[in-house]
Structure 1
């Protein structure tokens, strides 16, 4: 199916935008800021969108690095979004050997699954759509959300809870990956995040230390409380021991943890006063999520008792599973076929072959995986995923784009970025290095932006498509789990932006990591 004249106009707009947006993408790639701390990146988006005539609410939903940009009046309201958070510990320069970006800490953040390109692809689609609607004088309202902290599935659940998606008629979700397709039935699972905070004030003595009081330097010989360092270690090991008792070993579900701070900065004869650990729980069923969270709560309470600590639990996120939409998936697939697949520049192939040599692999004419060069039909991709899933499981992985799908018809699609044929690990440093090579990554986000603009124009210009997609959306909601019809977070939810997530700041010592000071540790577990 060929593109319409209006869609071709949008493609030309993206061609005109490409040089400046390529520079913009490189800025985001260099910033490489982690979840909840994307200060420079979000500001970059806000300034550009305001220059382009969008009205922008910076800090939307009470999240300093989120935003909500709108343009246009009348017609369908189309939701798009940018992401721009990087992964701590994954810094990689655009080189053919393993090396963090110049001037960055060895374990600084870096882009693994190309959120840098994700955001610029959505931005390209939004700007091209806006310019096309201006020239053709068509009605339509564009919503471009700045969705921070996707790596912890953070902002979309908050925006949903606070009503930001309630007026949308349709939304388009885009993510660069190693293949090109639109999702059909298999969507993403839930991600529920919690942070447990252990504190040891030592208000109650751990043991009777009277026997040591008569000794010289008695306080230095006293038995201290186990404290929060031990609590942290016990929480990790206890959860590992109980993991196989959380849910039967079937289907795809995961429990991952990350330590948020380092407790005391020095080793003294005092109990460690504070420690925090973040758990991310991913599974396809609410019952599984609730069961695992309850076991974590029990573990935390027992661990606190063992170590003479008190413990609190604070929610980070609670997302819902995705709600598919075949009508929109069909429309996106037609546009993917008409526009692509993406073609990468000669420099990308030179870089890929150099990576093969560096990794000790056989050097090939085409270093990239076959899926990078084709458009895979949604049903074919769906069947591939189902082969690895039990029949009852309808979602896999985790991404908070699913929140949009409960407020309006939503489609999720991917365009391929170059991935080595002989090393297809998406987060491997060699593949990450290509996110900073223009000839490799620009075609990926350009293709994404073109598909977004073309699909949004389909929705704006063809009432039948939007009507069919809306009818399907309503039917699916009627038979869906009633608990998912409203956001799982309350409308007054306090986003966890104040928790001590890693961030870079400039001090007299230079550019370095710092930890924040939380407003609240959450609910005390008694």
Structure 2
């Protein structure tokens, strides 16, 4: 089937991406180098706000009470009256423990250790690809007098599914004609395609906090205080509570979770210990859990078990416990009409292509790892498209027929407020010799080296721009997407089959999330990178 013919405005939008290719490359490198992690993306958010204002957008900083979130709006005409509003977004959070330079060998970014943040997906390219599509759409709207508006939200903490459930609950996606969601491909067959029926599932995340603030009464039947003696009985304290919780909850993976279908429960210890040099019990410890499930009911069931484990751990160790929500996100909702719009754009734009400069980078990495450099070092699927229905059929092979959703990403919360398409563009990934697995740093590095990441960024920006301009120009396409949205939700927002936001909590910004700090040595990670062996 031949590629769809583009309108003049769509063609000019693609040209606008090419005209700013150098800027997009520099911007992607900037965000990659920031490497800021969940809820602490201060420099990244500041950069986006300044850039968007310079491009003529009105920007609300700290949207929905999240200091590193924002909401940017621009309208060609009177906002809310002249034409539809299309939504896009950027993510920019990195992952602790993945600090990697844009280099062909394993090395952290300058002045940091490996435990600092680094982009793994990479959200640096995701956000700049989306920004490129946004600015190209704006340029086409101005040149061709297309009425309508653009909304671009800054979405922090995606790695803990943080911002989108909160933005959704606060109404930031309401009133949009459509939302376009792009992500670098992360698993085959979801490479250069659009999600069809099986969208991402639900995700719950929470922090359990154990506090030992009255250790003197633990273990004494008569209620008398513990004598002032280092040999007297004492409460085990918060460290023990955390370890009991950690070990007992491991049973979830065997007792509750099947070994297929994208289910998972992961944990991360936040504030660990708060110990003293004496034999006093630790007073505070925190552990974060994240679960990915196909349905909300499954997430609720796992939460009930975690709550019981926390209560038991607290009782055994002389502590009290608290549960604080980080995320409660809904499973995704398909929209075939939106998927077709994006697939048409993807066919017109084509898959990304990696030139000889990129291949030379890949071969240098292979050689440094002791491998024979390959003439064609990249995975073949990266440079070709796969039809959404074909990708869907492959994806379903490993899923039970009853499972409607798989894996997780919090774009799913957008699906319940406006017609949404979720699509993937290939990120650079290397072919592996039989039986070989590349170390993780390779993917991280390829996401920061301009020669290897720029093709993804440019292609994503073009697909976004072509899709957005199509939706702005084509009333029939918009109407079809909205009709399907209303049908699947029983009438739209508030409809009979609509799932309301699950977010009933404040942004979890006050925990000791990993972050960068300023010291006399300069910028450093919260675990000092200057320590021996760091």
Query: What's the TM-score, normalizing by structure 2?
Result: 0.91
Q: Distance in 2 between matches of 1:25 and 1:247?
A: 38
How far 1:268 sits from its partner (Å)? 2.4
One of 211, 222, 227 as aligned partner of 1:199? 211
Aligned residue-pair number: 509
How far 1:262 sits from its partner (Å)? 2.0
Change (3 A) 1:249 1:116: closer
Q: Distance in 2 between matches of 1:140 and 1:97?
A: 47
Contact 1:346 1:439 in 2 (8 A): no
One of 377, 383, 386 as aligned partner of 1:376? 386
Partner of 2:145: 137
Q: Distance in 2 between matches of 1:425 and 1:56?
A: 44
Partner of 2:532: none
Partner of 1:68: 71
Are residues 1:463 and 2:470 paired?
no
Partner of 2:501: 487
Q: Distance in 2 between matches of 1:55 and 1:404?
A: 21
Correspondence list, 1:349-364, <5 A: 349-364=359-374
Partner of 1:520: none
Partner of 2:49: 46
C-alpha distance after superposition, 1:442-481 (max 9, x if no partner): 1101111111110011111111101111111111112999
Q: Distance in 2 between matches of 1:226 and 1:293?
A: 25
Are residues 1:90 and 2:103 paired?
no
Partner of 1:104: 112
C-alpha distance after superposition, 1:224-245 (max 9, x if no partner): 2111111111101000124433
Cα RMSD for the two superposed structures:
2.2
Q: Distance in 1 between matches of 2:452 and 2:193?
A: 19
Partner of 2:508: 496
How far 1:345 sits from its partner (Å)? 3.1
Correspondence list, 1:51-450, <5 A: 51-72=54-75, 73=79, 74-177=82-185, 179-208=191-220, 219-247=229-257, 251-422=261-432, 428-450=440-462
- The SS at the match of 2:217 is coil
C-alpha distance after superposition, 1:358-399 (max 9, x if no partner): 233332101111111101111111111101111111211110
How far 1:251 sits from its partner (Å)? 3.5
Q: Distance in 2 between matches of 1:338 and 1:47?
A: 32
How far 1:219 sits from its partner (Å)? 2.5
Change (3 A) 1:260 1:427: farther
How far 1:265 sits from its partner (Å)? 5.0
Q: Distance in 1 between matches of 2:63 and 2:70?
A: 5
Q: Distance in 2 between matches of 1:458 and 1:295?
A: 48
Change (3 A) 1:379 1:267: farther
How far 1:428 sits from its partner (Å)? 1.6
Change (3 A) 1:472 1:430: same
Contact 1:247 1:288 in 2 (8 A): no
How far 1:79 sits from its partner (Å)? 0.7
Contact 1:90 1:429 in 2 (8 A): yes
Q: Distance in 1 between matches of 2:258 and 2:184?
A: 33
Are residues 1:454 and 2:466 paired?
yes
Q: Distance in 2 between matches of 1:120 and 1:211?
A: 60
C-alpha distance after superposition, 1:391-412 (max 9, x if no partner): 1112111100011110111000
Contact 2:199 2:331 in 1 (8 A): yes
Partner of 1:12: 15
Q: Distance in 1 between matches of 2:234 and 2:479?
A: 68
Q: Distance in 2 between matches of 1:186 and 1:324?
A: 7
Partner of 2:27: 24
Unaligned runs of 5+ in 2: 528-534
How far 1:250 sits from its partner (Å)? 6.0
Q: Distance in 1 between matches of 2:225 and 2:426?
A: 69
Partner of 2:530: none
Q: Distance in 2 between matches of 1:166 and 1:264?
A: 43
Change (3 A) 1:189 1:425: farther
Partner of 1:524: none
How far 1:440 sits from its partner (Å)? 0.8
How far 1:222 sits from its partner (Å)? 2.5
Unaligned runs of 5+ in 1: 516-526
How far 1:204 sits from its partner (Å)? 4.2
Change (3 A) 1:440 1:271: same
Deviates further, 313-322 or 235-244: 235-244
Change (3 A) 1:254 1:245: same
Deviates further, 429-438 or 79-88: 429-438
